[in-house]
């Protein structure tokens, strides 16, 4: 009876020893061995929109790790497969940064500030000097964003605030190519608007001079001569009553 119990105990000891040996061979270390981690990337960039990206953590199966961050707009999560995700909320202000600590390795997180939406430049055209000028505007706008009109690349007039709708820079009296740049007040980030419009101011022609002609009483033909002035424009004749000849 004593010999049989001794054999059973010896068998259990051998079995446990074999199991521990298998664990060591499978994972490469015992439970007391130090864990080695590899974390990548060490830098992440996000636009101002909400988003999520994956952090790769290379480690042994039995190794655990800590996961923390230093900003309220950053959050972290781990799925069932042990993959680490870093998420950010929408940024309506200036560019910001923070860090995530993964197993003692720091990952820098940068997020862009608020970027103005793009709208199209409207208006433009040509008009004669002395006539009503043509307007230049924008197909849309945002509040908390200012819009600067530029003529041939230089500021033209003062910036105007967005209204959440279409905006106009008023009537333009100078020839040139007009573009618009938007600047977000919360982030200071600028954005070129789409397209450009050209304004051309045409010179008003001078009036005809030296009108000469025959005089006649009754029916017949009268020859009228005139120097047409400047600009090569067509000359039209009218009677004293305003009728076109």
- State residue 79 phi and psi, 5-degree precision: -85, 180
Sign, CA torsion 28/34/38/39: positive
Cα 107 to Cα 98: distance, rounded to the nearest angstrom: 9
Smallest Cα–Cα separation from 175: which of 134, 140, 216? 134
pLDDT at 6: 46
With contact defined as beta carbons under 8 Å apart, do 151 and 124 qualify?
Answer: no
Give the span between the Cα atoms of 142 and 162, in whole angstroms: 5
**CA distances from residue 226 to 143, 203, 207, 212, 240 in whole angstroms, order as listed:** 59, 21, 10, 6, 17
Q: What is the largest CA-CA distance in the chain?
A: 159
Nearest alpha carbon to residue 189 among 122, 242, 119, 113: 113
Cβ neighbors of 8 (< 8 A, separation 6 or more) are: none
Q: Let me know: does 156 contact 178? Beta carbons within 8 Å.
A: yes
pLDDT in tens, the chain (245 residues): 545 554 454 444 434 443 433 433 333 333 446 888 889 999 999 999 999 999 988 888 788 888 999 999 999 998 887 789 999 999 999 999 999 999 889 999 999 999 999 999 999 999 887 788 899 999 999 999 999 999 999 999 999 999 999 999 999 989 999 999 999 999 999 999 999 999 998 877 666 666 666 666 666 676 666 665 555 566 676 676 766 66
- Angstrom distance (rounded) from CA 88 to CA 94: 14
User: Cα angle at 171 between 144 and 145, to 5 degrees?
Assistant: 5
From the list 140, 186, 184, the residue with the least C-alpha distance to 163 is 140
Kindly report the backbone phi and psi dihedral angles of residue 219, in degrees, each rounded to the nearest multiple of 5, phi listed first.
-75, 155
pLDDT at 106: 94
The per-residue pLDDT for 198 is 96
Residue 242 φ/ψ region, left for φ over 0, alpha for ψ in the -120 to 50 degree band, beta for the rest: left
């Amino acid at each position: 009876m004593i010999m049989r119990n001794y054999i059973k105990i010896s068998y259990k000891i051998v079995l446990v020893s074999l199991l521990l040996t298998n664990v060591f061979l499978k994972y490469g270390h015992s439970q007391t061995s130090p864990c080695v981690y590899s974390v990548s990337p060490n830098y992440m960039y996000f636009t101002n929109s909400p988003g999520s990206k994956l952090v790769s953590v290379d480690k042994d199966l039995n190794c655990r790790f800590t996961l923390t961050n230093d900003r309220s707009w950053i959050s972290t999560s781990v799925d069932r497969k042990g993959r680490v995700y870093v998420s950010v909320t929408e940024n309506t202000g200036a560019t910001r940064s923070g860090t995530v600590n993964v197993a003692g390795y720091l990952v820098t997180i940068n997020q862009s500030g608020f970027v103005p939406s793009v709208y199209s430049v409207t208006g433009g055209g040509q008009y004669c000097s002395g006539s009503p000028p043509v307007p230049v505007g924008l197909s849309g706008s945002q509040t908390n964003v200012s819009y600067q009109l530029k003529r041939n690349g230089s500021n033209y007039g003062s910036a105007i605030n967005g209204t959440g709708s279409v905006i106009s820079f008023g009537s333009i009296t100078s020839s040139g190519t007009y573009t618009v740049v938007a600047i977000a007040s919360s982030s200071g980030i600028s954005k070129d608007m789409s397209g450009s419009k050209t304004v051309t101011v045409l010179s008003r022609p001078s009036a005809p001079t030296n009108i000469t002609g025959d005089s006649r009483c009754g029916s017949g033909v009268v020859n009228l001569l005139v120097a047409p002035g400047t600009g090569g424009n067509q000359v039209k004749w009218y009677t004293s009553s305003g009728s076109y000849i």
